[in-house]
Amino acid sequence: MKIALTTSSIPPARGIGSYVDDLVRAFIDLGHEAQVHCITAFERDPSALDYPVTIYNVPQRGDRNTATREWEIIDELHRNLLAYGPDALIINDTPEASSLLPHLPESWVKASFVHAFRKNFALDQYRIIGNASVLNHPWLDWVVTGNRFLRQDIIEEYNLPGDQVHRILYGVRKPQDAAVTDKDWNAGEITFLFAGGTGRVKAYPVLLRALRRLRKKRTDWVLNLAGGKEKPDFGELESNIRWLGYMPRKRLFEVMNESHVLLIPSIFETGPILLLEGMQFGLVPIVSNTPSAMREVVERSDFGFVVRVNDSAALADAMDRALDRRDRLPQMSARALIHQREHLTLERQVREWLDLLSRKRPGVRSPRDADPPREAYIFHRRPYRYKNVDPRGILERWKTYLGNVPGPIRR
């Protein structure tokens, strides 16, 4: 099978970049042919990747050439996809590719993976990208999500038939560049791990408040903090936090081996892959109850804790309970590792993808024509930047909250 994938990211970027990279490598390992098309506003070098990648650079938002360049990208992507002639197309957060759907051959199986959508959340970027993922859905065979909460939201928000929307839980391949080692559970301190930077969406401010609460009660712990370019000021927490900064995947795996408990208190997540990689190394997860795959995986398990989102007291309490139950943590760690190996593997994920890509869905709308589109959903072309102080931004956010997401733009 020939498979084309469009994406907004490739390695070394994580998240969608890692997701697409793992899929492509697995497809190729199974004897399929794969080609990647990356539309991005960031500089990306595909030379380190051993599969075909075409980069389409979008100017940064605010550049006067952005709209013109995006039309050029849509036309170039259209020509390249037609020239490749895949059996199947997987769209990952690329509205330019979604805009092409009415103009692509009927014989292709077309699927869009919705990475970022949550009903009534993130009134600008996440919701707009989510809307673009489902754009032109009558021409899609399949809409795919990474968790059951997202699947239900998509069905309700866009009135899609349930048999068109599939949930494929994330999976990860066995790490080949880092061995899983036995943890020292008898060390003087339990080591927590937080990875993901210092942004609000990852709930870093919530984490800091939780750590201050915990430190007032006990100090038999340390936190490995991975991510970020500059070391933050930890204040009174300085002695309890090891700031590790940005690190490549291999180094992060080494840190996972050295840690005991993984903290993911995020306000918004679709996956994340970080949870599954942590479980590979026997980390006991503490996650928020934001609608996500991590909640789906952990909430009814016997190997982790789920806490109320955006609640520093609940997070501190869960960390305290983990420290109180340190004699049970080795068993929870073993169960997390076993659950990942049995249910959350890349091999299982790829099997489910190939099953979808091998069949057409009845009732998919026939293409309009094979010409380049005259209208497209251009994400970067907005009449202003999203800022709370811009009245137009406030109006747009309110319209978006009501469900009126900006529509396609004509040439």
pLDDT digits (tens, 9 = 90+) for 71-99: 899 999 999 999 999 999 999 988 889 98
Supply the CATH classification number for the domain 2-173+348-410. 3.40.50.2000
State whether the Cα torsion 175-169-43-101 is positive or negative: positive
Cα separation, 331 vs 360, in Å, equals 44
Query: What integer pLDDT is reported at residue 209 of this predicted model?
Result: 96
Cα separation, 382 vs 121, in Å, equals 20
pTM for this model (two decimals): 0.86
Residue 176 CB neighbour total at 10 angstroms: 7
Assigned token pair, 78: 């259209």
Q: Give φ, ψ of 201 to 5 degrees.
A: -60, -35
Query: What integer pLDDT is reported at residue 105 of this predicted model?
Result: 96
Q: Which of 119, 128, 125 is nearest to 156 (CA)?
A: 119
Angle at which helices 312-324 and 204-217 cross, to 10° = 50
Give the residue ranges of the chain where pLDDT is below 70: 60-67, 116-132, 176-179, 378-407
Among left, alpha and beta (phi > 0; psi -120 to 50; other), residue 161 is beta
Domain(s) labelled CATH 3.40.50.2000 in the chain stretch across: 2-173+348-410, 190-344
Tokens 């996809």, located at residue: 81
Residue 331 identity: Q
Cα separation, 349 vs 271, in Å, equals 13
Cα separation, 293 vs 150, in Å, equals 9
Query: What integer pLDDT is reported at residue 387 of this predicted model?
Result: 45
Q: Which of 78, 122, 125, 126 is nearest to 104 (CA)?
A: 78
Query: What integer pLDDT is reported at residue 153 of this predicted model?
Result: 85
Pick the CATH number of 190-344 from 3.40.50.620, 3.40.50.1110, 3.40.50.1220, 3.40.50.2000: 3.40.50.2000
